[in-house]
């Protein structure tokens, strides 16, 4: 199995001997630590990863053919599962999906790495692949729930699904200084965003 395949689907990688697995985790952790220390991906070197992980460069190159593959694997380790949906109520499903989007309050280092990587995504084709894999499944679930709501007659038949997805998801992923996103937890934010978008601002 080539390192490139491993980068695409880490779960299918042969686990190897325990010592090997430990080295691999140390290498991934070292990459995440360096990114969390604001090292730009262009400036991140195999030497610095090897030094931080306490392994030789050869140990890294045995598993990953390039720095880019290693960064994509490290980023992929941050992936969270898409939540199961109740499937009965459009409002409940949208709140569950939105709550699972964007940074959580609890996992500070993970958030910081996620934010740093997201800021660098435009410059890196490899990170764009990762970003699509993390972001797109949630966005597609939101579209499915909206289409279900239209089919069931709960949502307007002429609903603009793409822009509705955008107004639902954008508040969950951006964190402007002084914005509501920095003042309330994401469960409450998700609920208020969903109600605002479902009900609309116009007086009925």
Nearest distance, CB of residue 63 and a copy of itself, angstroms: 27
Residues 6+ apart with CB under 8 A from 68: 124, 126
Nearest distance, CB of residue 123 and a copy of itself, angstroms: 8
Helix (H) or strand (E) holding 129: helix 125-151
Q: How far is it, in rounded angstroms, from Cα 95 to Cα 3?
A: 38
Nearer to a copy of itself, 21 or 159 (CB): 159
Nearer to a copy of itself, 42 or 185 (CB): 42
Residue tagged 């990114």 (tokens): 35
Nearer to a copy of itself, 41 or 60 (CB): 41
Handedness of CA 108, 113, 114, 119 (dihedral sign): positive
Residue tagged 């709960």 (tokens): 154
Nearest distance, CB of residue 25 and a copy of itself, angstroms: 28
Nearer to a copy of itself, 65 or 115 (CB): 115
Nearest distance, CB of residue 40 and a copy of itself, angstroms: 6
Nearer to a copy of itself, 79 or 123 (CB): 123
Q: How far is it, in rounded angstroms, from Cα 130 to Cα 121?
A: 9
Q: How far is it, in rounded angstroms, from Cα 184 to Cα 53?
A: 37
- Residues of the shown chain interacting with a copy of itself in the complex, contacts defined by CB under 8 A: 38, 40, 42, 115-116, 119, 121-123, 128, 131-132, 135-136, 139, 146, 149, 153-157, 159-160, 162-171, 173-174, 176-181, 189, 192-193, 195-204
Nearest distance, CB of residue 101 and a copy of itself, angstroms: 10
**Residue 92: other Cβ atoms inside 10 A:** 15
């Amino acid at each position: 199995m080539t390192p490139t395949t491993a980068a695409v689907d880490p779960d299918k990688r042969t686990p190897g001997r325990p010592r090997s697995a430990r080295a691999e985790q140390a290498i991934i952790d070292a990459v995440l630590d360096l990114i969390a220390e604001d090292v730009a991906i262009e400036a991140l070197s195999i030497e610095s990863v090897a030094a931080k992980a306490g392994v030789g460069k050869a140990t890294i190159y045995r598993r990953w053919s390039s720095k880019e593959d290693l960064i994509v694997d490290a980023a992929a380790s941050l992936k969270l599962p898409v939540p199961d949906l109740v499937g009965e109520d459009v409002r409940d499903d949208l709140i569950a999906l939105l709550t699972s989007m964007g940074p959580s309050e609890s996992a500070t280092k993970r958030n910081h790495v996620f934010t740093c990587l997201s800021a660098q995504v435009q410059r890196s084709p490899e990170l764009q692949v990762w970003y699509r894999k993390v972001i797109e499944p949630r966005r597609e679930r939101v579209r499915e729930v909206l289409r279900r709501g239209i089919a069931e007659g709960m949502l307007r038949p002429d609903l603009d699904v793409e822009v509705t997805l955008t107004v639902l998801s954008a508040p969950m992923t951006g964190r402007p200084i002084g914005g509501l996103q920095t003042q309330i937890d994401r469960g409450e934010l998700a609920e208020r965003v969903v109600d605002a978008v479902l009900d609309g601002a116009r007086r009925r």
